[in-house]
Chain A
């Protein structure tokens, strides 16, 4: 069974940093592109970033470019999102998702990031 488990969310002050992790199991992690998607509670889904299966290529939404860094450790079956210079508008539930079935085929349960003083 495919499982994605996010961790690392919490309360952080504006301008601060946070690193999210996503532990994967039940599939060949190193074979799939992985994504981060966020959702402000009560609002829609917003794509944040993606990384190629071998980590050699990344893409970011304009809203996070230069502040967030996606990475992965295929030996540990883990995806990361390093978030720096956090702003109030980054407050959201962050989901990791795999590209099984082509695009965002499997999702984690999400981790809440709150940016507030």
Chain B
């Protein structure tokens, strides 16, 4: 049981826009930045979004993040086949004194 709640799966067709939600509480998302990671099959996770809505250099602007209250979301526009991956949200949890992850969302490009 993960501290942050994500849908286990999401899907879309090429060119579509998909969103992945991440729900938490006041001790984690409600009081800390949210981060998103992409894990392509067989590889290590990579940072996709930091501090709620910032993109590291090299991440396409098709990826965007937002946060409101105790929830956050990742949006992917202009979906491409290479976006097929697992996506994780994460943040610091003040109650746990540790990093809280979502359970991950497997994105399928149909």
Q: Which A81-117 residues sit within 8 Å CB-CB of chain B?
A: 95, 101-110
Contact A45 B104 (CB under 8 A): yes
From residue 1 to 60 of chain B, which have CB atoms closer than 8 A to chain A? 2, 33, 35, 37, 39, 43-47, 50-51, 54, 56
Q: Is the interface of B mostly helix, strand, loop or mixed?
A: strand
The docked-state distance in angstroms from the alpha carbon of A44 to that of B89 is 11
Do A102 and B50 contact each other (CB < 8 Å), given the known contacts A44-B101, A45-B101, A59-B98? Answer: yes
Contacts of B75 in A (CB 8 A): none
Give the bracket for the number of chain A residues in contact with chain B.
20 to 34
Q: With an 8 A cutoff between CB atoms, is B100 at the interface?
A: yes
B88 touching A103, Cβ below 8 Å: no
Using CB atoms and an 8 Å cutoff, list the residues of chain B in contact with chain A: 2, 33, 35, 37, 39, 43-47, 50-51, 54, 56, 88, 90-92, 97-104
